[in-house]
A and B are shown apart, each in its own frame.
Chain A
Amino acid sequence: MIELAIILVPVLTAGVALAWRSNATRPWLLPVAGVLHATLCGWRGLAPPAPLASEWVGFDAVTRAVLPALSLLFLVCSFYALSYLRLRAERPNRTFTGALLMLLGLMSLALQARHVGLLWIAIEGATLATVPLLHFNGTARAYEATWKYLLVGGTGIALSLLGSFCLGYASLYGGGSGDLTFAGLTAQGGALSRPWLMMAWVLMMAGYGTKMGLVPMHTWKPDAYGEAPGVVGALLAGGMTTTAFIALLRVKQVVDAAGLGGMTQQMLLAAGLFSMVVAALFLLGTPDFKRMLAYSSVEHMGILAVGAALGGAGLGAALFHVWNNSLTKGALFLSAGNLRRAAGARTRDDVAGMAWVSPWSARILVTGLLAITACPPFGPFFSELGIVRAGLGAGRGVAVLVFLGSLLLAFLGMTRLVFAIVDGRPGRAAKATGARFRETAGLVVPPLVFLGLSLGLGLTTPPLLRETWAAAVKALEVIP
C-alpha cells in the first residue's frame, strides 16, 4: 500500500496542480508533495517488508538503497523551486509544477518497477514529463535543446523498448511462460536464449545508457542541462540518471544470471571509462559553466558504470556514489542557477567577479566543485576511493589509472572555469543584474543544505545506509 502511495502522492498532487487556479500559491504544492513523499520513503525504508517475487511494483532492497536519495533531492529542490518560481512570477507555472510532480511520481515508479515492461513505461513517461520543464524559459535556445532531447532521448527510449522485447523473446525461447518480472527472468537463468539475451543487453545499454548520458549517447545532456532551470538540472542529473542506472542494473542481473556476466562487465567498464575520458576532455575546453555541470554529470555516470562493472564492493561503492552524486549535484546546479541569473551570462568570456556579485552562491559553487571533484572529507571522495580499491582488488590496474587520470583532468578543467567566473572584477552589466536578482535565503539555503548533506555523508556515513547498499549488492549479485 505504501509502495503505491509513494507513486500516487506526487501523481495526484500533479493533478491538483493542473487544476489549481492561483499562480502565486500553486508552487506550494511542491514542498507539500516533497514532505509527504520523503515521509513515506523514510517510513518504508526503515521497515521494509520483502515484496513477493510475482509483484510488479515493490520496495525491494535495490529500491531501498536509492529511492530515499531521490526523495531527499526532490524535497530540498522543492523549497528552492518556491523561491525560483517567485522570481519568475510573470510566467504561468501550471505545466511546470505539474510536470515536476509527475516526474517525481514516474521516477518513483521506475525505481520500484520489478517488471521489464512496466520499467520501460515509467522511464518513457518520465522522459515525456521532462519536456515542458526543459523549455520553461521559452528562449530559442531552450527549444533547440528540447528538440534535441526529444530526438536523441526518444531514439534511446525506442531502443530500450526493442531491448525489452528481445529479453521477452529470450525468455519465451527458453521455455518461459511470458512472466517478464525481473525475479522470474533471473530464476530462468541459463535457460534464456543467449543470442537474444546479448541483443537485449546491447540494446538496453544503448537505450538506458542514453538516459544516463554515457558517451557517445550523451549529446543531449549539455544542451538540456545548459538551458533548463537549475532546479530541473538538479533533478535530472541527480534523479533521472539514477533511475536509468538502476534500470540497467536490474537488466544486468538477469543477463548475469544467465552466465553472460563477463560480457556485461567488459561493456560497462569500457563505456564507463570512455565516458570519463571524453567528459574530462570536454571539461578542459568548455567555457560555459552550466554546460560544464553537464559534462561533469557524464563523468559521474562513467564512474557509476565502472563501479557496477567491478561488482561486489565496487557496486556497493557505486550505490554510495549515487547518493553523493545526487546531493552534491543538487548544490552545484542550484548555485550555478543563481549565478547564471545574477550574471545574465554563462561563459568565461562574459562572467567574472561573481564572488562580489553573489557571494553566497559563489562560495557554494566553489565548495561544491571541491566536493564533486572528490576532495576529502566530502562524500564523493569516499565512494570513489571505494571504487578505486575495488578496481585494485580485482587486478584492474590500467582501468584504475585511466579512472584517476580522468578525475585529475576533470579537476583541472573545472577549477579553471569556476575560478575564472568567481574571481576578478564584475562587469557593469553583472552588477546591474546582480542588484536585480539579490540572493535570498530561499535561494541560498537549499544548496547549502545539499552541501551539508554531502559533507555529512563523507564524515559519518550512517550505518543504516551502508547496510542498505550491502543488501542491494547482495540482491543484485546472483551466482549463476
Chain B
Amino acid sequence: MTDTVNLFIGLAMGLNLMALASSRIPSIIRIEAAQGMVLGVLPLLLEGEPSALVIAVAAAVVGVKGFLIPSLLRRAMRAAHIDREAAPRLGFVPSLLLGAAATVGALALGLALPLMPEHARLLLVPGSFATIICGLILLMSRTKAITQVCGFLMLENGIYLFGLLLLGSTPLLVEAGILLDLTVAVFVIGIIVDRIQRSFDSLDTRMLTELRE
C-alpha cells in the first residue's frame, strides 16, 4: 500500500514541474485538475478500510479540486477573453530549474524532520513541501491573474497533502476548512478577476501599478 501511495505522491510532484513548464493557461488548469484528482484518491489509499467519512472527504476533494474549481477557472477565462499565453515574469526554464531544486530541498527537509513510524516510509512530507514551494514559484513568477490563482491552488494542494498526516487523529474540522476555503476563495477571486478585467481592460497584473510608493 505504501508504494502505491508514494507513486501517487510522486505523480503529484511531477505535475508540479509540468505546471511550471507549461506556457498555456488551459494546460495549467488541466494539470491542476489532474493533481486535485490524484490528491483526492490518497485518503482512500492511506486508510486500510476507509470509513464513510474518509470516502466522503475523498469524493468531495475529487469533485471540488478536480471538476468544480477548474470549470470555474475556465469560465472566468472565457468571460474575460484572456489570450492563452501564460506570460511569465521568470522564464519557463529558470522556473522549472527552481522547482526541481525546491523538490530536492523538500526531500532533504523531509528527511531531517522526525516522523511517526507509520509515516516514515511515506513521501507525504517532502511531497507537501515541494508542492507548496512550486506553488509559490508559480504564484510569484507569472503575471496573469488566472495563473496566479493556479499557483495559489497548488499551494493549497501542498497544504492538503500535509493535512493527510493528521487525517486519522484529529477531527475533520480542518479538512472541512480547506474545502470551504477553496470554494469560497475561488468564488471571491472569480468575482474580483471579473472586476479587474472591467476596470483595467486586462487581466495582466503588470497593469496593476497605480499603487506604489
What is the interface of chain A, defined by CB distance below 8 A to chain B?
117-118, 120-121, 124, 128, 131, 135, 139-141, 143-148, 150-151, 154-155, 158, 161-162, 164-166, 168-169, 172-173, 176-178, 180, 193, 195-196, 199, 222-223, 226-227, 282, 285-286, 291
Shortest CB distance B144–A (Å): 12
Q: Which residues of the other chain, B, contact A285 by a CB distance below 8 angstroms?
A: 213
Q: Do A118 and B113 form a contact, CB below 8 Å, given A147-B208, A169-B166?
A: no
* Contact pick for B177, options A120, A144, A145, A226, CB 8 Å: A120
A-B pair count, CB < 8 Å, reads 113
What CA separation (Å) do A140 and B198 show in the bound complex? Answer: 9
A140 touches B200 (CB 8 A): yes
Complex CA gap A291/B174 in Å reads 36
Pair A162/B162 contact, Cβ less than 8 Å:
yes
Distance from A413 Cβ to chain B, minimum over Cβ atoms (Å): 13
Chain A interface: which of B11-19, B43-51, B69-77, B180-188?
B180-188
How far apart are B34's CB and chain A's nearest CB, in angstroms?
21
Find chain A residues with CB under 8 A from B136 CB: 155
User: Is the pair A178, B213 in contact by a Cβ cutoff of 8 Å?
Assistant: no
Task: Specify which of B114, B162, B181 lies most central, judged by the most chain A CB atoms within 10 Å of its CB.
Answer: B181
B163 and A165 contact, CB distance less than 8 A: yes
Complex CA distance for A169 and B139, rounded to whole angstroms: 27
Kindly list 4 other residue pairs between chains A and B, CB separation below 8 angstroms, not including A118-B173, A120-B177: A147-B205, A151-B148, A168-B166, A177-B169
B90 to A: closest C-beta gap in Å: 16
Measured between alpha carbons, how far is A164 from B165 in the docked complex, in Å?
12
A139 and B145 CA atoms in complex are apart in Å by 18
Q: Is the CB of B177 within 8 A of A124?
A: yes
Q: Is the CB of B155 within 8 A of A222?
A: no
Report if A154-B185 is in contact (Cβ < 8 Å); known contacts: A161-B178, A193-B114, A226-B211.
Answer: yes
Partner of A154, one of B152, B158, B180, B196: B152
A/B interface sample: 12 pairs, CB < 8 A: A128-B184, A143-B196, A143-B199, A147-B205, A148-B211, A155-B139, A161-B159, A168-B170, A169-B166, A173-B116, A193-B114, A285-B213
What 8 pairs between A and B have smallest CB-CB spacing? A178-B169, A140-B199, A144-B208, A117-B174, A223-B211, A178-B170, A121-B177, A117-B173
- When the two chains form their complex, are residues A282 and B114 in contact, meaning their CB atoms are under 8 A apart? no
Q: Which DSSP category, helix, strand, loop or mixed, fits chain A's interface?
A: helix
* Contact A128 B163, beta carbon cutoff 8 Å: no
B210 at the interface (CB under 8 A from A): yes
Q: Is B156 at the interface (CB under 8 A from chain A)?
A: yes
A144 touches B210 (CB 8 A): yes
Chain A hits for B196, CB < 8 A: 143-144, 147
Interface centre among B132, B155, B169 (most CB of A within 10 A): B169
- Inter-chain contacts of B170 with A (CB < 8 A): 117, 168, 178, 180
Q: Once the chains bind, are A282 and B213 in contact (CB under 8 Å)?
A: yes
Q: Indicate if B84 sits at the interface (CB-CB under 8 A).
A: no
Q: Are B114 and A196 neighbours in the complex by a CB distance under 8 Å? A: yes
Closest A residue, CB atoms, query B185: A154
Residues of chain A within 8 A (CB-CB) of B163 are: 165
A140 to B211, CA, bound (A): 10
Q: For the complex formed, measure the closest distance between the CB of A258 and the CB atoms of chain B, giving whole angstroms.
A: 14
Q: Are B181 and A173 in contact (CB under 8 A)?
A: no
Does any Cβ of A come within 8 Å of B68's Cβ?
A: no
Is B104 positioned at the interface, with any CB of A under 8 Å from its CB? no
Query: Which residues from A are CB-within-8-Å of B89?
Result: none
A403 to chain B, nearest CB (A): 24
A155 B192 Cβ-Cβ under 8 A: no
How many angstroms from the CA of A222 to the CA of B211 in the assembled complex? 9
B82 interface residue (CB < 8 Å to A): no
Q: Are the CB atoms of A151 and B210 closer together than 8 Å? A: no
Which residue in chain A gives the minimum CB-CB distance to B175? A117
Pick the contact of B188: A117, A140, A150, A165 (CB < 8 A): A150
Q: Contacts A124-B181, A169-B166, A173-B114 given: A144-B139 contact, CB under 8 Å?
A: no
* Chain A residue contacts of B121, Cβ below 8 A: none
Q: Tell me the smallest distance from the CB of B181 to a CB of chain A, in Å.
A: 6
- CB within 8 Å of A: which B110-148 residues: 112-116, 132, 136, 139, 145, 148
Smallest Cβ-Cβ distance to A134: which chain B residue = B192
Query: When chains A and B are docked, how far (Å) is the Cα of A209 from the Cα of B208?
Result: 24
Report A-chain residues with C-beta under 8 Å of the C-beta of B188: 128, 131, 150
In the complex the two chains form, is A172's CB within 8 Å of B116's CB?
A: yes
Asked whether B24 is an interface residue with its Cβ less than 8 Å from the other chain, the reply is no
How far, in whole Å, are A120 and B115 apart by their CA atoms in the complex?
A: 24
The yes or no answer to B81 lying at the interface (CB within 8 A) is no
Assess whether B210 is in contact with A158, with CB atoms less than 8 Å apart: no
Looking at the assembled complex, report how far the CB atom of A444 sits from the nearest CB atom of chain B, in whole angstroms: 29
B208 to chain A: closest residue by CB: A144
Indicate if B189 sits at the interface (CB-CB under 8 A): yes
Q: Which of A135, A147, A165, A195 contacts B162 (CB 8 A)?
A: A165
